[in-house]
A and B are shown apart, each in its own frame.
Chain A
Amino acid sequence: MTDQPATPPSAPQSGRTPHFVSQEKWDPYVAERLTAEQEKYYMAGQWKLMWWRFRRHRPAVVSMIFLALMYLSTAISEWIAPYDLHSRHSAYIFAPPQSVHLFHEGKFLGPFVYGLKTERDKETLQRVYTPDPTKPMPLRFFCSGAPYEFWGMIDGTFHFVCPPEGGQFFWLGTDRLGRDLFSRIVYAARISLTIGIIGITLSFVLALVLGGLAGYYGGWIDSLVQRITEIIKSFPHLPLWLALSAALPVTWSPLVIYFGITIILALLDWPGLGRAVRSKLLSLREEDYAAAAQMMGAKPARIIGRHLLPGFMSHLIASATLSIPSMILAETALSFLGLGLRPPITSWGVLLNEATDINVVAVNWWLMLPVVPVVLVILAYQFMGDGMRDAADPYA
Chain B
Amino acid sequence: MLNFIVRRVLLMVPTLFVISALVYFIIDLPPGDCVTSQIDELLARGDADALTRADELRSLYGLDQPLWLRYFEWVGGIFRWDFGLSCQDTVPVSELIGERMALTLIMESATIAFIWIVSFVIGVYAATHQYRMGDYVASFIGFVGLSVPNFLLALVLLYVGKVYFGLSIGGLMDPEYIGKPFSWGKFVSVAEHLIIPVIVIGMSGTAGMIRRLRANLLDELQKQYVVTGRAKGLPPMRLLIKYPLRHAINPFVADIGGLLPDVISGSVIVSVVLSLPTTGPMLLGALKTQDVNLAATFLLFVAVLTVIGMLISDLALAALDPRIRFGATSEK
In the assembled complex, the Cα of A239 lies from the Cα of B19 at a distance in Å of: 12
In the complex the two chains form, is B27's CB within 8 Å of A239's CB? no
In the complex the two chains form, is B152's CB within 8 Å of A247's CB? no
B113 sits at the interface (CB 8 A):
no
* B261 and chain A: residue at smallest CB distance: A236
In the complex the two chains form, is B302's CB within 8 Å of A236's CB? yes
Given A337-B272, A374-B152, check contact A235 B261 (CB 8 Å).
Answer: yes
Given A248-B30, A338-B288, A339-B284, check contact A237 B155 (CB 8 Å).
Answer: no
* A326 and chain B: residue at smallest CB distance: B149
A170 sits at the interface (CB 8 A):
no
B307 sits at the interface (CB 8 A):
yes
Which residues B250-283 have CB closer than 8 A to chain A? 257, 260-262, 264-266, 268-269, 272-273, 283
Q: Inter-chain contact count A-B, CB under 8 Å?
A: 113
In the complex the two chains form, is B149's CB within 8 Å of A333's CB? yes
In the assembled complex, the Cα of A356 lies from the Cα of B298 at a distance in Å of: 23
Please, which residues of chain A bring their CB within 8 A of the CB of B268? 236, 238-239, 242
In the complex the two chains form, is B261's CB within 8 Å of A234's CB? yes
In the assembled complex, the Cα of A325 lies from the Cα of B148 at a distance in Å of: 11
A150 sits at the interface (CB 8 A):
no
Please, which residues of chain B bring their CB within 8 A of the CB of A243? 23, 26-27, 287, 295, 299
Which residues A263-283 have CB closer than 8 A to chain B? none
Point out the residue from A235, A237, A242 that lies within 8 Å of B283, measured CB to CB. Answer: A242
B227 sits at the interface (CB 8 A):
no
A256 sits at the interface (CB 8 A):
no
In the complex the two chains form, is B264's CB within 8 Å of A247's CB? no
Please, which residues of chain B bring their CB within 8 A of the CB of A237? 261, 265
In the assembled complex, the Cα of A371 lies from the Cα of B158 at a distance in Å of: 14
Point out the residue from A235, A242, A333, A368 that lies within 8 Å of B159, measured CB to CB. Answer: A368
Task: Bits for A224-253, please: 1 = Cβ < 8 Å to B, else 0.
Answer: 000000010111111110111011111100
User: Of A20-28, A207-215, A375-383, which binds chain B?
Assistant: A375-383
In the assembled complex, the Cα of A358 lies from the Cα of B261 at a distance in Å of: 28
In the assembled complex, the Cα of A173 lies from the Cα of B248 at a distance in Å of: 51
In the assembled complex, the Cα of A83 lies from the Cα of B317 at a distance in Å of: 58
Task: Bits for B153-174, please: 1 = Cβ < 8 Å to A, else 0.
Answer: 0011011001100001010000
In the complex the two chains form, is B156's CB within 8 Å of A244's CB? no
In the complex the two chains form, is B261's CB within 8 Å of A368's CB? no
A171 sits at the interface (CB 8 A):
no
Interface size class of B (residues with CB under 8 A): 35 or more
B241 sits at the interface (CB 8 A):
no
In the complex the two chains form, is B288's CB within 8 Å of A339's CB? yes
Given A234-B261, A235-B303, A339-B288, check contact A365 B159 (CB 8 Å).
Answer: yes
In the assembled complex, the Cα of A231 lies from the Cα of B303 at a distance in Å of: 10
In the complex the two chains form, is A250's CB within 8 Å of B30's CB? yes
Please, which residues of chain A bring their CB within 8 A of the CB of B26? 243-244, 247
Q: Mostly helix, strand, loop or mixed at chain A's interface?
A: helix
In the complex the two chains form, is A231's CB within 8 Å of B265's CB? no
Please, which residues of chain B bring their CB within 8 A of the CB of A382? 146-147
* A245 and chain B: residue at smallest CB distance: B287
In the complex the two chains form, is B265's CB within 8 Å of A238's CB? yes
Number of interface residues of A (CB under 8 A): 40
In the complex the two chains form, is A371's CB within 8 Å of B27's CB? no
A336 sits at the interface (CB 8 A):
yes
In the assembled complex, the Cα of A236 lies from the Cα of B19 at a distance in Å of: 12
B32: shortest Cβ distance to chain A, in Å?
8
Point out the residue from B149, B283, B306 that lies within 8 Å of A374, measured CB to CB. Answer: B149
Given A239-B283, A243-B27, A250-B30, check contact A234 B257 (CB 8 Å).
Answer: yes
Please, which residues of chain A bring their CB within 8 A of the CB of B31? 249, 251
Point out the residue from A238, A248, A368 that lies within 8 Å of B155, measured CB to CB. Answer: A368
Point out the residue from B27, B284, B310 that lies within 8 Å of A234, measured CB to CB. Answer: B310
Which residues A117-144 have CB closer than 8 A to chain B? none
Given A235-B303, A236-B261, A333-B269, check contact A246 B30 (CB 8 Å).
Answer: yes
B15 sits at the interface (CB 8 A):
yes
Task: Bits for B296-330, please: 1 = Cβ < 8 Å to A, else 0.
Answer: 00110011001100100000000000000000000
Given A239-B268, A251-B31, A339-B287, check contact A362 B152 (CB 8 Å).
Answer: no
Please, which residues of chain B bring their CB within 8 A of the CB of A329? 149
In the complex the two chains form, is A337's CB within 8 Å of B284's CB? yes
Please, which residues of chain B bring their CB within 8 A of the CB of A365? 159, 163
In the complex the two chains form, is A236's CB within 8 Å of B156's CB? no
B133 sits at the interface (CB 8 A):
no
B151 sits at the interface (CB 8 A):
yes
B6 sits at the interface (CB 8 A):
no
B261: shortest Cβ distance to chain A, in Å?
4
B10 sits at the interface (CB 8 A):
no
Point out the residue from A231, A246, A249, A374 that lies within 8 Å of B18, measured CB to CB. Answer: A231
Point out the residue from A247, A337, A356, A378 that lies within 8 Å of B29, measured CB to CB. Answer: A247
A355 sits at the interface (CB 8 A):
yes
A244-B26, A337-B284 known, 17 other contacts, Cβ within 8 Å: A236-B265, A236-B268, A238-B264, A239-B268, A242-B283, A246-B30, A246-B287, A246-B290, A247-B29, A249-B30, A333-B269, A336-B151, A358-B170, A362-B163, A365-B163, A368-B159, A374-B149
What are 23 of the A-B contact pairs (CB < 8 Å)? A234-B261, A235-B19, A236-B261, A238-B264, A238-B266, A239-B264, A239-B283, A239-B299, A240-B23, A242-B284, A242-B287, A243-B23, A243-B295, A243-B299, A250-B30, A336-B269, A339-B287, A358-B155, A358-B159, A358-B168, A371-B152, A375-B148, A378-B147
Which residues of A does B touch, CB under 8 Å?
Answer: 231, 233-240, 242-244, 246-251, 325, 329, 332-333, 336-339, 352, 355-356, 358, 361-362, 365, 368, 371, 374-375, 378-379, 382
In the complex, the 4 A-B pairs of residues with the closest C-beta atoms, listed nearest first:
A238-B265, A246-B287, A236-B264, A247-B29
